[in-house]
Amino acid sequence: MSLLCCPFLSRTIRSICLMQAAHQLMEVISGDVFAIGFSCRLLHSRALPALLCVNPVRSNLRFISRSLKSSGSGFRSYSPLSSPNAVPVETREGQSVRAERTKNLQVKLAELGIGCDLSKIGQYMHALCPKCDGGESKENSLSIFIREDGKLAMWSCFRTDKCGWKGRIEVSENGGDVTVYQNGGSSFVFKSQSHRTITETDFDLEPLCPEVLTILGKDALKQVIETAELFPIRGLFSFSSFFTEIDDYFLCQGSEIGVSTGWRALDDLYNIVPGELTVISGVPNSGKSEWIDALMCNINENYGWTFVLCSMENKVQEHARKLLEKHIKKPFFNIRYGESVERMSPKELEEGKKWLNDTFHLIRCDDDALPSIEWVLTLAKAAVLRYGVRGLVIDPYNELDHQRPLHQTETEYVSQMLTKIKRFAQHHSCHVWFVAHPRQLQNWGGNAPNLYDISGSAHFINKCDNGIIIHRNRDKSEGPLDGVQVYVRKVRNKVIGRIGDAHLIYDRVSGRFLDDK
């Protein structure tokens, strides 16, 4: 039988034969530059890795190489090696197995109405939830994550009060069995055989037509070489991979343009975007923590966001009281600060406790040890994956464990810490509010500090996306004592705000912040 008629030669193997034939083209196709380009592009094409992972063809490849060497520039006849019609192949952990699992995940996600971009495997993706359609704002509230090994896909709708649809898909080692879970339970299971059977027809094999250049010509071979698809490099992308997100951004869909703080005075200055870092500072007892609590209550009421809190200066019951007062708009007690205002009723308290439990998750040390930033971010990641939280509060910076290496300066340490926080925020699409106290001010006269006064490093203002100072008036001659100034001193993204000042009124009874009429 002639090598040219071998039924086991696929299109891919023909490409290898073309490579051998290319040596005869060097004098026909001008220059050594073409030969170099040919070899480089072939090494990066998808065909070569795909070919090397197919076991049934290895013996043929060895034979082809041996035949070519013995025949010189031409082909000669050979005695074909025997091969069964059906070859059982055991599943191996490799590129093809992972691709098979990933393909199964994509198919089952599509059946549920969930679209995903396979170029973003291992990263968090956001899409329109097929269950709630993103609500009135058409927000891309569905978070999707596909593990790199193709064994697991998870999704969760962040509109927990309106939708809350979540689930996961698990794929077995061999990529055959697929189990889908929705909102905690198993909905259906797909079964398949544990081994695949590969036959000759699976390879789309074709007889090799007689010496290729004679029939197709040099131009056809050159076109195949020049249009060869380059092998993808992990982590290297083109903008075309993100055109869908760019289109959504242009159409103002999703939360990339920011959500409102809930205060009219701040709408033009500061809006909240998932994936950004906001540093907040101010002198002690200026209302930084109270303002952040009120901000979270506003965002939850208007957009349904949930949060994880690492607030080491607050006792749990005191923090719960502050949040409940802002949510129910009534005092927790009717003594002292509560004045004569009716306090919240037991029924309102019970409803408020359920709201607390659904909206906030706590990061706290069980002992007297100080938490490190790595420990906080690890737990925050777990809260994102399990509960779909959209915001993290770290309050304050000086309550963290800052044991830095002896060779590292405080400036270097702060820079590294803020980089970790920003990567967490961006990777998990979670907004982070980081409270940092200013250093002890010499001869302080009651004026508001600036972001460069933060204790530790100027990196607090250099690396944050947004920088805010909260300042409360303490002098009656300067104005009412319930007045609170919000100084927006840095906004990296001009789409969501700008530098400026806003004035709010603090309601001491309910702990709320109100627009100044």
| Per-residue pLDDT tens over the stretch 13-72 | 455 554 554 444 444 443 433 333 333 333 343 333 333 333 333 333 333 333 333 334
| Per-residue pLDDT tens over the stretch 187-221 | 444 444 445 566 666 666 565 465 667 788 888 87
**Least confident stretch, 48-62, 156-170, 307-321:** 48-62
Which structure tokens are listed for 222? 């050159």
The number of CA neighbours under 13 Å toward the Cβ of 122 is 6
Three-class secondary structure of residue 464 per DSSP: coil
Q: What is the mean pLDDT of residues 409-426?
A: 92
pLDDT value at residue 176: 65
Q: What is the mean pLDDT of residues 392-421?
A: 89
pLDDT value at residue 89: 44
**Least confident stretch, 32-41, 119-128, 173-182, 323-332:** 32-41
Instruction: Write the DSSP assignment of 360-409 as a string of letters.
Output: EEE---SSSPPPPHHHHHHHHHHHHHHH---EEEEE-GGGS-----TT--
**Least confident stretch, 78-92, 382-396, 454-468, 499-513:** 78-92
**Of 128 and 87, which is predicted with more confidence?**
128
**Least confident stretch, 15-19, 227-231, 426-430:** 15-19
- Strand 431-435: give its sheet, edge to edge: 360-362, 307-311, 391-395, 431-435, 277-281, 466-472, 483-491, 500-507, 512-515
Task: Assess contact for 296 and 311: CB atoms under 8 A.
Answer: no
pLDDT value at residue 356: 97
Q: How many Å apart are CA 140 and CA 378, to the nearest integer?
A: 25
pLDDT value at residue 211: 66
**Least confident stretch, 131-145, 172-186, 344-358:** 172-186
* 445 pLDDT higher than 50: yes
Q: Render the burial of 42-78: b for 16+ CB within 10 Å, e for the rest.
A: beebebeeebeebebbeebbebbeeebeeeeeebeeb
What CATH architecture applies to the domain 258-515?
3-Layer(aba) Sandwich (3.40)
Pairing of strands 500-507, 483-491: antiparallel
pLDDT value at residue 39: 39
Q: What is the mean pLDDT of residues 398-407?
A: 83
SS3 content of the chain, % helix, strand, coil (to 5): 40, 20, 40
Q: Look over the chain and give the mean of its residue pLDDT values, rounded to a whole number.
A: 77
| Per-residue pLDDT tens over the stretch 334-369 | 888 877 789 999 999 999 999 999 999 999 887 777
- Helical axes 11-22 vs 32-43, angle rounded to 10°: 150
Q: Can you list the alpha helix ranges (DSSP code H) found in 464-504?
A: none
Q: Band of the pLDDT at 382, cuts 50, 70, 90? A: very high
Domain boundaries along the sequence of the chain: 95-183, 258-515
Which structure tokens are listed for 478? 């300067």
pTM of the full structure: 0.60
Task: Assess contact for 503 and 320: CB atoms under 8 A.
Answer: no
| Per-residue pLDDT tens over the stretch 56-84 | 333 333 333 333 333 344 433 334 444 44
Q: Give the Cβ contact number of residue 488 at 10 Å.
A: 20
The number of CA neighbours under 13 Å toward the Cβ of 321 is 12
**Least confident stretch, 58-72, 118-132, 435-449:** 58-72
Torsion from C-alpha of 44, 47, 53, 56, nearest 10 degrees: -150
* 229 pLDDT higher than 70: yes
The number of CA neighbours under 13 Å toward the Cβ of 190 is 16
pLDDT value at residue 439: 81
**Of 395 and 99, which is predicted with more confidence?**
395
- Strand 142-146: give its sheet, edge to edge: 124-127, 142-146, 152-157, 166-171, 178-182, 185-190
pLDDT value at residue 362: 95
**Least confident stretch, 62-71, 148-157, 423-432:** 62-71
Q: Band of the pLDDT at 390, cuts 50, 70, 90? A: very high
**Bridge partners (DSSP) listed for residue 272:** 259
**Of 306 and 247, which is predicted with more confidence?**
306
Q: Which residue has the tokens 């490799």?
A: 94
Give the whole-number percent of the chain exceeding pLDDT 90: 33
Q: What is the mean pLDDT of residues 490-514?
A: 94
- Closest alpha carbon to 93 in 2, 178, 171, 210: 171
